[in-house]
Chains A and B, each alone.
Chain A
Amino acid sequence: MKDLNKIEQEVIKSLDKSLKEGDVLEIKNYYLGRKSGVITYLLKSIKDLSDGDKKKFAPQIQSLKEKTEKMIENKLKELSMSDISFKDLTLPNKKIRHGSLHPLTIVERKIVDIFTAMNFSVVDGPEIESEWYNFDALNIPEFHPAREMWDTFWIKKDYKKKDSKKRENFLMRTHTSPVQVRFMEKHKPPFQIIAPGRVFRYEATDASHEVNFHQIEGLMIGESISMANFKYIVENFLKKFFGDDITFRMRPSYFPFTEPSVEIDIKLPNSDKWLEVMGAGMVHRNVLKSAGLNHEEWQGFAFGLGVERFAMLYYGIPDIRLFYAGDLRFNRQF
Chain B
Amino acid sequence: MKFSYKLLKKIDPKIKERDKIINDLINHSFEVDEVLDNTLDISILPNRYNDASGHIGIARELAIASNRVLKYEFKTLEKKGKIDIEVEDNKYCSRYIGAVLSLESFKTTQYITDVLKDGGIKSINGIVDVMNYVMLLTGQPMHAFDYDKVVGGIKVKKINKKDKFITLDNIEIKIPSGTLVIADDEGVLAIAGVKGGKRAEVTEKTKKILVEAATFNQVSIFKTVKAINLKTDASLRFSHNLCSDLAERGMVEALDILKKEFKAEMVALKDLRFDKKIEKKILFSIERFEKFIGMSLLEKDILRVFELLDFKVNKKKEVFEILISKFRVDIETEEDLFEEVVRVVGINKVKPEAPIVSIGKSLFDETLLLKNKVSDILTGFSLDEVYTYSFNKDQGVELLNPISLDREFLRSRLTFNLEEVVKNNFRFFNEVNIFEIGRVFIEEKDKTFFEVYHLGIAVGNKKEGSFLFLRGVLEGLFRKLDLEFSFKQDKNKLIIYIDHKIIGLAYEKENISIAEINFCDLVKVATSRKSFKPIVKFPLVGRDISVLVSPDVRVGDMFSKIQKINLKEIVDIDMIDFYEGKKISDGVKSVTFRIMMQSNEKSITSKEVDIIINKIIKLLEQDFKGKVR
Binding site for B on A (CB under 8 A): 96-102, 104-105, 109, 116, 119-124, 126-128, 143, 145-146, 148-149, 153-163, 172, 190-192, 196, 198, 200, 202, 204, 211-212, 220, 222, 224-229, 231-233, 235, 249-254, 259-263, 282, 284-285, 299, 323-324, 326-329, 331-332
Contacts and interface: CB of A to CB of B under 8 A. Distances in A.
Given A98-B379, A327-B425, A124 B367 contact: yes
Interface class of chain B by DSSP? mixed
A138 to B, nearest CB: 14
Contacts of A222: 355, 357
B363 A123 contact: yes
B528 interface: no
A99 B46 contact: no
A275 to B, nearest CB: 13
B450 to A, nearest CB: 4
A332 B384 contact: yes
B375 A123 contact: no
B355 A232 contact: yes
B358 A326 contact: no
Contacts of A105: 375, 385
Name the prevailing secondary structure of the A interface residues: mixed
A211 B357 contact: no
B115 interface: no
A260 B386 contact: no
A160 B448 contact: yes
Contact of B441 (A120, A123, A128): A128
A143 B222 contact: yes
Nearest to A332: B384
A212 B424 contact: no
B135 interface: no
Interface residues of B, number: 96
Contact of B222 (A123, A145, A198, A259): A145
A102 B292 contact: no
B387 A104 contact: yes
Contact of A251 (B31, B295, B335, B438): B31
Interface in B341-371: 342-343, 347-348, 350-360, 362-365, 367-369
A326 B424 contact: yes
Contacts of B335: 259-260, 282, 284-285
B389 A211 contact: yes
Contact of A198 (B372, B384, B390, B450): B390
Nearest to B453: A124
A106 to B, nearest CB: 9
19 contacts: A98-B380, A101-B375, A122-B368, A123-B365, A143-B222, A145-B239, A153-B399, A162-B450, A224-B291, A231-B350, A231-B352, A235-B352, A252-B29, A282-B292, A282-B338, A327-B425, A327-B428, A328-B386, A328-B425
A116 B449 contact: no
A17 B239 CA distance: 99
A196 B291 contact: no
A97 B382 contact: yes
Q: Which 3 A-B pairs have the closest CB atoms?
A: A228-B294, A226-B294, A260-B339
Given A102-B387, A331-B384, A231 B363 contact: no
B390 to A, nearest CB: 5
Contacts of B434: 326, 328
Contact of B429 (A192, A324, A328): A328
Given A212-B390, A326-B424, A331-B384, 18 more contacts: A99-B433, A116-B362, A122-B365, A145-B218, A145-B240, A153-B400, A155-B399, A155-B400, A155-B449, A157-B400, A160-B449, A222-B355, A224-B356, A225-B355, A226-B355, A228-B351, A260-B293, A328-B428
Nearest to B291: A224
Interface in B434-465: 434, 438-439, 441, 443-444, 446-451
A251 B367 contact: no
A109 B385 CA distance: 14
Nearest to A171: B400
A259 B357 contact: no
Q: Which of A212, A235, A261 has the most CB of B within 10 A?
A: A212
Contacts of A226: 291-294, 353, 355
Nearest to A142: B219
Nearest to B399: A153
Interface string B279-296: 000000000000111110
A160 to B, nearest CB: 6
B27 A162 contact: no
A214 B296 CA distance: 37
B385 A190 contact: no
Interface string B306-339: 0000000000000000000000000001011011
Contacts of A143: 218-219, 222-223
Contact of B449 (A154, A161, A200, A259): A161
A190 B360 contact: yes
B525 interface: no
A149 B47 CA distance: 12
Nearest to A154: B400
Contacts of A235: 352
A146 B350 contact: no
Interface string B384-410: 111111110000011111110001001
A96 B382 CA distance: 8
Contacts of A99: 378-385, 433
B386 A102 contact: yes
A282 B293 CA distance: 9
A326 B390 contact: no
Contacts of B151: none
A226 B441 CA distance: 39
Contacts of A228: 293-295, 350-353
A331 B218 CA distance: 47
